[in-house]
């Protein structure tokens, strides 16, 4: 069995869980195993039903009043109990902030290994082991890791690396409620209140159009022009690590290996060279436009439309045109 932990926050399923169900469904064909989705919380059976639409063969609603708010103790214990009961061959978790916290604790409890922050998963045709690929040595090479003789084989996977499968609302699957045995005293950390951070920007992984800037944009003030272009196009802004390191953009707008993975319909890369670590976060975009004064910049090779020149007059003209239309 391939088990996928599908994270919910405030009663909303995160996309990464759906992405992982899609990938697990592909892997299950090579393994001939069922895909079981697990969603954890309190009164969450309606979410479990939704997961069936995305390709899970079976859905487990892991629920208990003590799981109302996320706590690492409570969720680790609850997942531990469900894994003990179901005995999956593979367990996949999204590498979100909570997934990165839960995964290693759960692996330690289960006495198995964990490959963290993976960017690809395959099944080895001979050994039938899960091949878990992740960047290593500062991103200079991609390491493929196996976990033989241990069960489950566990991985956390970066959000956005796999597409969300098409939902089929006709598709249903068995939904099973699992009530873990939890005691209040087992949960050492009590969450009193969750205060949401006020964000000026949307989550870039959800944007359909992204206008991204790099060091070539030149200054924080120049990003106002990129923001204006993004607004006219109905999208959001993002940037390279160089732009973030310069302090021109907040870290949650960084695209790439150590930032977010995005796959919008349109990605406009302005003054970005296209280092391998940046490409890792955006090359799956549907249509890429690059504006760069260097025709040899690596970004020009992945671009569907490469515009050679100084970005500022080009962007100003684009803004002017869009305002006229």
Task: Name the binding residues.
Answer: 215, 240-241, 254-258, 271-278, 292
Q: In the set 57, 96, 273, 285, which binds ligand FAD (CB under 6 A)?
A: 273
Q: In the set 12, 125, 138, 192, which binds ligand FAD (CB under 6 A)?
A: 138
Neighbours of 272 (CB within 10 A): 31
| 223 contacts ligand FAD (rule: CB under 6 A) | no
- Residue 322 has, within 13 A of its CA and on its CB side, a CA count of 13
| 277 contacts ligand FAD (rule: CB under 6 A) | yes
Q: In the set 55, 88, 235, 259, which binds ligand FAD (CB under 6 A)?
A: 259
| Surface-to-core class of residue 193, CB atoms within 10 Å of its CB (0-12 exposed, 13-18 middle, 19+ buried) | exposed
| 292 contacts ligand FAD (rule: CB under 6 A) | yes
Phi, psi (degrees; rounded to nearest 5) at 189: -95, 125
Report the C-alpha gap between 201 and 121 in whole angstroms: 31
Reading the block at residue 317, the tokens are 């003209």
Q: In the set 55, 152, 256, 264, which binds ligand FAD (CB under 6 A)?
A: 256
Report the C-alpha gap between 325 and 315 in whole angstroms: 15
Closest CA to 232 of 163, 319, 174: 319
| 278 contacts ligand FAD (rule: CB under 6 A) | yes
Q: In the set 18, 36, 129, 272, which binds ligand FAD (CB under 6 A)?
A: 272
* Identity of the residue, 99 or 281, whose beta carbon is nearer to ligand FAD in the bound complex: 281
Rounded least distance, CB 26 to ligand FAD, Å = 26
Report the C-alpha gap between 100 and 157 in whole angstroms: 9
Rounded least distance, CB 217 to ligand FAD, Å = 8
| 36 contacts ligand FAD (rule: CB under 6 A) | no
Tell me, letter by letter, the H, E, C secondary structure of 112-144: CCEEEEECEEEECCCCCCEEEEEEECCCCEEEE
Q: In the set 74, 180, 235, 271, which binds ligand FAD (CB under 6 A)?
A: 271
Reading the block at residue 171, the tokens are 């598709």
| 285 contacts ligand FAD (rule: CB under 6 A) | no
Rounded least distance, CB 299 to ligand FAD, Å = 7
Q: How many of the chain's residues bind ligand FAD (CB under 6 A)?
A: 29
| 297 contacts ligand FAD (rule: CB under 6 A) | yes
H-helix segments, the chain = 15-31, 45-52, 72-86, 97-110, 223-233, 241-245, 276-282, 299-302, 311-324
| 243 contacts ligand FAD (rule: CB under 6 A) | yes
Q: Are 13 and 39 in contact (CB under 8 A)?
A: yes
| 310 contacts ligand FAD (rule: CB under 6 A) | yes
Q: Which residues pair with 291 in a beta bridge?
A: 270, 307
Per-residue interface string for the shown chain with ligand FAD, residues 43-72, x marking contact by CB under 6 A? ------------------------------
Distances (CA, A) of 183 to 9, 66, 232: 22, 8, 53
* Identity of the residue, 103 or 271, whose beta carbon is nearer to ligand FAD in the bound complex: 271
Rounded least distance, CB 226 to ligand FAD, Å = 12
Footprint of ligand FAD on this chain (CB under 6 A)? 138-139, 214-216, 240-243, 254-259, 271-273, 275, 277-278, 281, 291-294, 297, 310-311
């Amino acid at each position: 069995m391939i088990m996928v932990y599908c994270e919910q926050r405030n009663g909303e399923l995160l996309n990464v869980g759906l992405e992982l169900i899609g990938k697990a469904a592909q892997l299950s064909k090579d393994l001939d195993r069922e895909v079981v989705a697990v969603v954890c919380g309190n009164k969450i059976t309606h979410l479990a039903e939704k997961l069936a639409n995305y390709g899970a063969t079976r859905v487990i609603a892991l629920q208990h009043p003590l799981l109302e708010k996320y706590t690492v103790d409570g969720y680790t214990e609850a997942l531990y109990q469900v894994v003990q009961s179901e005995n999956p061959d593979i367990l996949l978790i999204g590498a979100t902030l909570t997934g990165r916290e839960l995964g290693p604790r759960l692996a330690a409890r289960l006495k198995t290994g964990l490959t963290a922050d993976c960017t690809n998963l395959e099944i080895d045709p001979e050994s039938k082991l899960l091949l878990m690929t992740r960047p290593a040595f500062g991103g200079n090479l991609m390491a493929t890791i196996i976990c033989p003789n241990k069960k489950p084989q566990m991985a956390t996977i970066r959000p956005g690396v796999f597409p969300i499968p098409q939902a089929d609302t006709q598709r249903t699957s068995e939904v099973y409620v699992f009530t873990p045995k939890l005691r209040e005293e087992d949960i050492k950390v009590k969450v009193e209140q969750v205060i949401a951070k006020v964000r000026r920007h949307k989550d870039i992984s959800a944007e359909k159009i992204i206008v991204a800037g790099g060091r070539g944009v030149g200054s924080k003030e120049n990003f106002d022009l990129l923001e204006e272009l993004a607004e006219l196009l109905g999208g959001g802004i993002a940037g390279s690590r160089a732009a973030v390191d310069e302090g021109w953009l907040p870290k949650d707008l960084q695209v790439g290996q150590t930032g977010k993975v995005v796959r919008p319909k349109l990605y406009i890369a302005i003054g970005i060279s296209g280092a391998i670590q940046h490409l890792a976060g955006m090359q799956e975009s549907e249509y890429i436009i690059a504006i760069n004064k260097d025709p040899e910049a690596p970004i020009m090779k992945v671009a569907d439309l490469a515009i050679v020149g100084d970005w500022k007059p080009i962007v100003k003209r684009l803004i002017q045109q869009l305002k006229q239309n």
